[in-house]
Amino acid sequence: MKQFTDYQKHIDNFINWFWDALPNLIMAIILLIVGTYLIRFINRMIRKFFEAKDYDPSLETFTQSLISIGLKIILFVLVITQLGVQSSSLVAIIGAAGLAIGLALQGSLSNFAGGVLILLFKPFKIGDFISAQGVDGTVREISIFTTKLTTFGNQIAIIPNGQLSNNNIINYNAEETRRDKIDIGIGYGSNIKTAKDILLDICTQHKNILNEPNPEVYVGELGDSSVNLTLRFWANNDVFWAAHFYVIEEIKNRFDVEGIDIPFPQRVIHQP
C-alpha cells in the first residue's frame, strides 16, 4: 500500500510539474517554429541580395552557411532559455561544451579557418579549374568546412579547406591565356627545318591559337632513336583543350603527307 502511495505521489508531482511547465513548453515550440521560418526567410533574403549585387558565388555560399549556423545557434539558446534553463547556467554549459568540442574538433576548426582564408585571399573561385591535393577539377562549391570539385569524370571530390589552404594549388583559370607544350619526335633522316615549318604553319592556320606571343619550335633533345622537337603556343583558356587536341592530330596528318617519320620504340631480338 505504501509503495502504491509513493507511485501516486510521483505521478501527482509530474502532473503538477507538467502543468506548470506547459506554458513555457508551448512558447518554446512556437518560438522554434517561428524562428525556423525566420531563418529560412533571412536566408532567402540574403540569397536575393547576393544575386542582385552580383557578388562572388563563393562568398555567397560561405556567408549563407555561416549566417545560417549562427542563427540556428541563437535560436537554440532562446528555446532552451524559454524552457526554464538559467542563462548563467547555459553560458557555463556552452563554455564547457565549447571547450570540449573545440579540443575534439580541431580539424574542423582548421577547416573553418581555411575557408575564411580562401575567401579572403581568393586563390580560386567557383568555376575555376584547379589542381590540389592530387585532384583536378572545376570548383563547384566553397562551404564553411570543405570545397567541392567536379572532376573530368563528373565525380564530386570533397577537399577539406584546412588542407586546401595550407598546400599548393594550381589555378588554371587565374589568367585568360595558357601556354601549351607538345613534344614530337622525328627520325634522324627527316628534315628538321621542314618539320619545324609544318608545326608553325599548323599553329598559324588555327583560329584558336594566338599569334601573340608567337608560337615557338626548337630542338629539345637528340634522343636515342629520334630528334625531339618541342612546340609551344598560347591559347585562351576556354578553347585551350580544343587547340591542344587539334594540333596533335594535325601533326600526325601533316607529317604523313610530307613524309616526316615519327619513330616508335622497337626491340630487336637476336637468336643465338
| CA end-to-end distance (rounded Å), the chain | 110
Q: Which residues belong to CATH 2.30.30.60 in the chain? A: 115-171
Q: Which residues belong to CATH 1.10.287.1260 in the chain? A: 7-104
**Coil vs helix vs strand at 173:** coil
pLDDT (average), residues 195-212: 92
pTM, to two decimals: 0.58
The CATH-assigned architecture of domain 115-171 is Roll (2.30)
- Region of poorest pLDDT, from 103-112, 138-147, 260-269: 103-112
pLDDT (average), residues 19-35: 76
Contacts of 173 (CB under 8 A, 6+ apart): 124, 127, 128, 129, 130, 237
Q: 207: which 3 cell numbers? A: 583560329
User: Each residue of 155-203: pLDDT tens digit?
Assistant: 999 998 888 888 888 999 888 999 999 999 999 989 999 999 999 999 9
* Cβ count within 10 A of residue 228: 13
Q: Which residue has the higher pLDDT, 94 or 202?
A: 202
Helices in 54-175 by DSSP H: which ranges? 57-82, 87-104, 106-121, 161-165
Q: Which residue has the higher pLDDT, 217 or 111?
A: 217
DSSP-derived secondary structure for 209-272: B-SSSPPEEEEEEE-SS-EEEEEEEEEEGGGHHHHHHHHHHHHHHHHHHHT-------------
Contact 145, 112 (CB under 8 A): yes
Q: How far is CA 123 from the centre of its chain?
A: 11
Residue 10 pLDDT class (50, 70, 90 cuts) = low
pLDDT of amino acid 100: 54
Nearest CA to 135 out of 153, 151, 146 is that of 151
Q: Which residues belong to CATH 3.30.70.100 in the chain? A: 177-258
Burial of 184 (0-12, 13-18, 19+ CB in 10 A): buried
User: Each residue of 218-270: pLDDT tens digit?
Assistant: 998 998 889 999 999 999 998 999 999 999 999 999 999 999 988 876 555 65
Which CATH number does 177-258 carry? 3.30.70.100
Determine the residue type at 37: Y
pLDDT of amino acid 103: 47
Task: Report the topology of domain 7-104.
Answer: Helix Hairpins (1.10.287)
Q: Which residue has the higher pLDDT, 8 or 207?
A: 207
pLDDT (average), residues 9-16: 63
